[in-house]
Structure 1
């Protein structure tokens, strides 16, 4: 790869990406443009601007992408009820395509010929960033310093920082206890004190949820309204997508909802232990399944459930912009045309549980299901023929087996 002349760097303002910024300048002699996205990680982003300015960056992009993140990435994923390996709500995975999209767009707008990220060579994020970038611009150059440089220890990173006058916070002088990724959907904590999967995670790892054991002793009830599979209101008040997720996060925090201690299979081949907190997303998933229960046809729902693991795996592995993910999305979105109505959810000590649901689009017929007189809505005698037809092949199999045994 020829040396880039101008690089757009996904920049957090932290030590690692600040070192990457200076390394790109010294290694390639190129100009660096920084891009910092507000995805609801809960941190002030102005310090990132000041740090970039201090390091001599001329073009600094800081963008609030919270609404786009939830409306165009989180909500489509939740229409699918996407869960990776039965447990993980894909909080880190779903943020990467949006960051990559803006990296490529800023590169085009600023005349940059490359983009760079701070993902390591052991993780999934390098794959997610790069697959997304190449899908959007097949000619873009992607630089992954962690796969190239010789700064292979914390000591060498700190030495590089000091040699280039990069400020190092005091708490970065030692080994960080764990690594954190955060956005509006979740927080992810990995490494260091969490690397032994046999050891219980320390309480201080949890940042977005209160301990459910010490939570309120009385349950709290909220109502979430959906239109075509997307949440549009809480307790009857319409809100924007990002505002809804923010408010659900607060409900989830208070009741300790959405904690997950998970050993997952990374795309690159190794197993990894992580502590995830997805308070609002856990409530949202429960509520969405609740409204689907009365509005989604059984055939459509079962088909949708059967493709969900494949859809979730595509997102986890970085294939958001692939044709197969888009094909599955079209199927999923078709299924959501009548997924509208309201769900009442009980929140209590780490649990979110649907306790009521209603909709003008409901397929639930009390006349058909009642144990009382159904006034002729359903003829129970019809079930006899239904059973006989479905039993026919089983009876033929059993008859053959008995004949062969005899």
Structure 2
């Protein structure tokens, strides 16, 4: 039983089905609709989804990303990093609407006959020698159902995680507030670049196109540090933000690469939420219950890698369960493979590794520059590139040559 019908949960359902294992998805929302904003799928995730049969769907929905480009608040380019196939991977990187990706995964899950039960909320779990006994709420009724394994793929504020690890660490706020939206606008750069302007210490504005069907559709993200880091009790991912509030942080920008004001004005709904994560857990599993995706390792969304790591979790979990006779040994193998690298990624993201370099540019060239090499040394530029790759990339050769995880 998989708790959560998001990217991680649905990828898990597809992976388990492909490995010959029966599963069911339970999702608290009554209807799965194409909500949310943009997301990037890295080549390591695109490979796994392609092997699950979604290659054509991804190509038909998303934009194949060419570069990730960093600029100052004036629009002067600091660094451009090739992405996806331009970086040598056999698989693309895609910029795509999160809701459309979720619906594509859902369609594939249902097409393969995997049950997805909506309006069903996880309440509790108990274990005995025969597996797990899961308590669910359907409307006003509590029901108890048996499964061999329970997978908590229910997001940053996971109820399954809370049940397993009630003292497993609060939400930790970076002090950075984020605003996100989707709007139609004029083409930015080549129409396939993830463009990052400024630094979230003073103001960062990120833009990228997200639709193969509508080339004018742009996802934007604004990030501003407004407080010192601290603990928050909860985070509302669908709180409405104000265009005026966002505009105030960027009013002084002379940003020639994108029209920030026009994008804000064209956005129907702005979402506002804090940039949060949690401390890595020393263990995900208890018996036959484990965690996956943001429930296991929520990380700052600065490496375009959170959703991609959930896809990798799903594939490794299915492979480990399918290749071990005992479910608990399979879950232990899954955690042994996935917990160390994802814990390291959480901490690497928390360090905000490129912000110091971009801040240096602002300090050394507050009015802009002509040639970045007059501002940063080759060593500083190389360190910036390495820092971004450390939170986004897989080793190109290792990914290209690795054997398939399909079972």
TM-score tier by shorter-chain length is: under 0.3
Higher strand share: 2
Higher helix share: 1
**Greater relative contact order (CA < 8 Å, ≥ 6 in sequence):** 2
TM-score when normalising by structure 1: 0.24
